[in-house]
């Protein structure tokens, strides 16, 4: 065991896992909240051993004192804690920015608007959990109908100044609209921008906290940064994006695992003092 690995094995580390509908994210932090490890894999990967391989890699290299699982698949993981994505998103956001704020989490199958306090307390939240419009799944399906690679969407959309918007929030009808655009000869750059504008339109239909700083997180914003600019312009306000936005929720889970371990330690000390 080299010195670096030995230090990790002897240190105190905490694991957060976000088992999302599309991707699973792993984050390991130390006592100060510094991230030492982050990794993402597909949740529905055919390689079912990959998940266990990642866990084994983490536990082989870090002395994990406490773990917290969140996301759609959190009940499938044998963790010390299980928390909702709302609570973990607020915890992760507040560990980075301890102020009153609004967090917009654009995920694979839903959008969450979270109003939270400086310490991570969730004060209010809204979700579009009855429809996938504006989510990662929506982007994937519409881009496929437009015969566009996901990886090139942002670069294409940046080249357009068109204001054409997909009117339907229904994925099926939205695909029909895209097909009509193709028949009409709409440039691929305008189609890419139109997809983003439709997502902005969907988000703006939700109750976004007024007068609070806004932050974006989630896998969608990690790969489609133009969304931030378009949303900020539509709302006429400044919006920030978390560093490593795809890992914000998993980071929050790790923060909660750390707090759980610290609270348990304080209880043990209290019992000894009596």
Are 158 and 219 in the same domain?
yes
Least Cα distance to 23 among 42, 38, 39 occurs for 42
Are 51 and 185 in the same domain?
no
Are 224 and 252 in the same domain?
no
Q: Which residues fall within 8 angstroms of residue 139, CB to CB, at 6 or more apart?
A: 150, 153, 195, 199, 220, 224
Residues 75-134: tens digit of each pLDDT: 888 899 999 999 999 999 999 999 999 999 998 888 999 999 999 999 999 988 556 666
Q: What is the pLDDT of residue 138?
A: 87
Percent of the chain beyond pLDDT 90?
A: 65
Are 109 and 75 in the same domain?
no
The total number of structural domains that make up the chain:
2
Are 126 and 224 in the same domain?
yes
Are 62 and 145 in the same domain?
no
Are 176 and 103 in the same domain?
yes
d(CA 244, CA 182): 35
Q: What is the 8-class DSSP label of residue 158?
A: H
Q: Which residues fall within 8 angstroms of residue 65, CB to CB, at 6 or more apart?
A: 12, 13, 14, 257, 261
Q: Measure the N-to-C terminal CA separation of the chain; round to a whole number of Å.
A: 41
CATH number at residue 138: 3.30.420.40
Structure tokens at 169: 């929030």
pLDDT band at 175 (very low <50, low <70, confident <90, very high): confident
Predicted confidence (pLDDT) at residue 44 exceeds the cutoff of 70: no
Structure tokens at 91: 């915890």
pTM value? 0.89
Q: Residue 69: how many CB atoms within 10 A of its CB?
A: 25
Question: What DSSP element (H or E) covers 39?
Answer: strand 35-42
What average pLDDT does the segment 219-244 reach? Answer: 94
Sign of dihedral through CA atoms 88, 89, 95, 98?
A: negative
Spacing of C-alpha 145 from chain mean position: 25
3-state secondary structure of 50: helix
Are 107 and 238 in the same domain?
yes
Are 256 and 139 in the same domain?
no
d(CA 66, CA 256): 9
Are 259 and 124 in the same domain?
no
State the residue range of the domain holding 16.
Answer: 3-94+247-273
Rg (the chain; Cα; Å): 20
Least Cα distance to 14 among 53, 69, 51, 54 occurs for 69
Q: 33: burial class by Cβ within 10 Å (0-12, 13-18, 19+)?
A: middle
Q: What is the pLDDT of residue 11?
A: 86
Are 25 and 111 in the same domain?
no
Are 182 and 221 in the same domain?
yes
Among 85-89, 211-215, 262-266, the range scoring the smallest mean pLDDT is 262-266
- Do the Cβ atoms of 91 and 120 come closer than 8 Å? yes
């Amino acid at each position: 065991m080299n010195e670096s690995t030995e230090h990790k094995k002897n240190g105190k580390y905490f694991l957060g896992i976000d088992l999302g509908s599309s991707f699973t994210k792993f984050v390991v932090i130390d006592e100060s909240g510094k991230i030492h490890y982050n990794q993402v894999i597909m949740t529905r990967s055919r390689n079912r051993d990959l998940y266990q391989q990642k866990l084994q890699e983490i536990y082989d290299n870090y002395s994990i004192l406490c773990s917290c699982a969140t996301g759609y698949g959190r009940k499938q993981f044998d963790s010390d804690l299980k928390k909702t994505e709302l609570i973990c998103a607020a915890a992760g956001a507040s560990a980075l920015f301890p102020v009153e704020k609004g967090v917009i989490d654009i995920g694979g199958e839903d959008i969450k608007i979270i109003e939270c306090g400086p310490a991570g307390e969730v004060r209010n939240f809204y979700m579009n959990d009855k429809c996938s419009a504006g989510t990662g799944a929506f982007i994937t399906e519409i881009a496929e109908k437009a015969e566009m690679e996901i990886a090139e969407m942002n670069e294409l959309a940046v080249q357009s100044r068109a204001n054409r918007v997909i009117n339907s929030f229904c994925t099926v009808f939205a695909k029909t609209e895209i097909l009509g655009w193709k028949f009409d000869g709409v440039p691929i750059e305008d189609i890419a921008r139109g997809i983003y504008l439709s997502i902005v339109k969907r988000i703006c239909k939700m109750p976004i906290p007024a007068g609070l700083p806004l932050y974006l997180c989630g896998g969608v914003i990690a790969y489609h940064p133009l969304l931030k600019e378009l949303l900020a312009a539509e709302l006429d306000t400044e919006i920030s994006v978390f560093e490593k936005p795809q890992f914000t929720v998993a980071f929050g889970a790790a923060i909660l695992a750390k707090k759980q371990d610290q609270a348990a330690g304080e209880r043990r000390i209290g019992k000894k003092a009596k």
